[in-house]
Amino acid sequence: DVKVTQSSRYLVKRTGEKVFLECVQDMDHENMFWYRQDPGLGLRLIYFSYDVKMKEKGDIPEGYSVSREKKERFSLILESASTNQTSMYLCASSLGSAGSLLAFFGQGTRLTVV
């Protein structure tokens, strides 16, 4: 089975801290994604990457950056955490374009910024 692993299940950080959320997949997938999920707003795409060192902005990239130095790892960075970034963060991966909608998700990281 494909496994997408997020480094933390729950995280509490202070306002202004730099926060790293890590995601690792073990199926050699080209595409990796970061979403956030908030009540009433559904899943919103923050960034995605279709290859090592490649990244593309999603719908809500402000306040975030990403890093993909290796194919299996995709990191989401909150440069200076703010309370409005309190959310559930979900990482996903998928094959290249032919299977791009068959995505596998991690278990999520619930981040609280205080």
Binding-site ranges for other proteins (CB under 8 A): 4, 31, 33, 42-43, 45, 48, 50, 56, 58, 88, 90-92, 94, 96-108, 110
Least gap, CB of 76 to other proteins (angstroms): 14
State which residue, 21 or 92, has the beta carbon closest to other proteins.
92
Backbone conformation region of residue 41, classed left if phi is above 0, alpha if psi is from -120 to 50, else beta: alpha
Least gap, CB of 85 to other proteins (angstroms): 19
Least gap, CB of 47 to other proteins (angstroms): 9
State which residue, 77 or 88, has the beta carbon closest to other proteins.
88
How far are the Cα atoms of 42, 53, 70, 107 from residue 79, in angstroms, in the given order? 24, 19, 21, 23
DSSP string, 47-97: EEESSTT--EE-S--TTEEEEEEETTEEEEEESS--GGG-EEEEEEEE-SG
State which residue, 82 or 107, has the beta carbon closest to other proteins.
107
State which residue, 67 or 104, has the beta carbon closest to other proteins.
104
**Distance separating alpha carbons of residues 69 and 48, to the nearest angstrom:** 13
Least gap, CB of 16 to other proteins (angstroms): 27
